[in-house]
Homo-oligomer: A and B are copies of this chain.
């Protein structure tokens, strides 16, 4: 837990982020959340964000690269707490639970998380690039991969299987089910996706 954070002597390779840059990133994320809460994702433009933060547009773009990048950063940020639950929280989500149960619990938690942040998650997808490296899904994938490694499955391409399961978990919420349908019946959707995930995992993990 209290081991290594960004401001430590952790410079293994790059050179730690400059102080002003870090401050501005926090400021930008905070401002973005405000704007999001006030007027929804569509009004969150790069120009507006820059102006409202009192920063230049160039800064916003260097930090996030692209519009979708802002949403990725926001999602990433929101995910931190969730990640801690997964890595060191209580079972069945955290360690000290049998891997198959952890896998099911993980899916349930992720579904809830994505539902809760569906707007942001939706907007974090950028057709020009594949899903962001170093954020959201890769961690999902890595975690699922790790759990699969501890479940007795016959010979199998575990990396690929992890990717397939990640897709089965995320894509419905990110791509397939319409946003309006989710808004209309979020509870129902959550129950359905959750039990669907359990079924899928059950099917995949046996003999």
Contact = CB atoms under 8 A, between A and B. Distances in A.
Interface of A: 68, 122-128, 130-131, 137, 141, 156-157, 160-161, 163-168, 170-172, 175-179, 192-193, 195-196, 199-200, 203-204, 206-207
A163 B156 contact: no
Contacts of A128: 122-123
Given A163-B176, A176-B166, A196 B127 contact: no
Complex copy number for this chain: 2
A200 B164 contact: yes
A184 to B, nearest CB: 14
Given A131-B176, A175-B131, A176-B166, A156 B68 contact: no
A196 to B, nearest CB: 4
Given A131-B176, A171-B171, A175-B131, A196 B124 contact: no
Nearest to A168: B164
A163 B157 contact: no
26 contacts: A68-B127, A122-B127, A123-B127, A123-B128, A124-B127, A125-B125, A125-B127, A126-B127, A127-B127, A130-B177, A137-B175, A141-B176, A156-B199, A160-B192, A160-B193, A161-B199, A163-B176, A164-B168, A166-B171, A166-B176, A167-B168, A167-B176, A170-B171, A203-B203, A203-B204, A204-B204
